[in-house]
Amino acid sequence: MLIISWNCSGAFRKKFKQIIEYDCDVMIIQECENPNEVQFPKEFESLMPHFIWVGDNKNKGLAVFSKYKLKDNLWDSGGNKYFISCRVNDSFHILGVWCHYANSPTFGYIGQMWKYLQLNKDNIRDKDIIIGGDFNSNRMWDVWDRWWNHSDVFNELKELGIKSLYHLYYNEEQGKETRPTLYHRKNTEKAYHVDYILASKTFYNSLSKFEIGNPQKWLSASDHMPIFVEIKTNKYVL
């Protein structure tokens, strides 16, 4: 099973061919146009016929695409932006994330994830779940006098049995990542790690590959690099 998360920086319908060559099962795409309002090529629709999209702007929202049936869990977002929780093929769960500023100086970006988590801990608990997306956050930006921060969010997820696959695969600490996912405004001198895929035990015990896209290939399309995760488990055979 191959899962991909990518902030495509808009116009995904013109960039999807760079992704579909990987024959993925589920895509979590940030800054994606609304497939209900913007026509996608038939080639893509035939490969990824199922999708859920959320957003306030038809040109830039959050989408989950899948080869397989998706069912919206309808978990309460509390107005936080942007989140999609769904079941894939009536089996496991996907939580797509695009942490947005959301006009909230106190709870912008990772604060949106923190607020969403407070609403949905019981929904997430004991689920076979994969969480992926652009969190716009890193431990190095923790604010010392705030009652929540990036570290708190990831620690709360860990308490729910959910771990970051990058940090497991490469054995690196939060805030000390050596492989960037973002080259801000396509400037290779401004490299950060802000995109993540996390998973519950069923999946992190079966992790076989974690890869971040090479900027030489992807930087022309977006300042975020795609994340590729391969999981080999007999529990879910899609």
Task: Please give the pLDDT value at position 238.
Answer: 66
The CATH number of whichever domain residue 223 belongs to comes to: 3.60.10.10
Judge whether residue 57 has pLDDT over 80: yes
177 within some domain: yes
Q: How many domains does the chain have?
A: 1
Structural domain contains residue 7 = yes
Domain of residue 112: give its range: 2-231
pLDDT of residue 234: 81
Confidence of residue 45 (pLDDT cuts 50, 70, 90): very high
β-bridge partners, 65 = 27, 51
Other CB atoms within 10 Å distance of the CB of residue 118: 12
Can you give 146-179 as a three-state secondary structure string? CCCCHHHHHHHHHHCCEEEHHHHHHCCCCCCCCC
pTM of the model: 0.97
pLDDT of residue 237: 64
- Is 106 part of any domain? yes
236 domain-assigned: no
CA distance 227 to 166: 9
Q: What is the rounded CA–CA span in Å between residue 188 and residue 192?
A: 10
- Evaluate whether residue 176 is within a structural domain: yes
Per the prediction, the chain carries an average pLDDT of 96
Q: What is the pLDDT of residue 33?
A: 98
Domain membership flag for residue 22:
yes
Cα 222 from Cα 149, distance rounded (Å)? 27
What CA–CA distance (Å, rounded) separates 179 from 232? 23
- Is 194 contained in some domain? yes
Does residue 120 sit within a domain? yes
For 178-214, how does the pLDDT look when each residue is reduced to its tens digit (9 = 90+)? 999 999 999 999 999 999 999 999 999 999 999 999 9
pLDDT(101) > 80:
yes
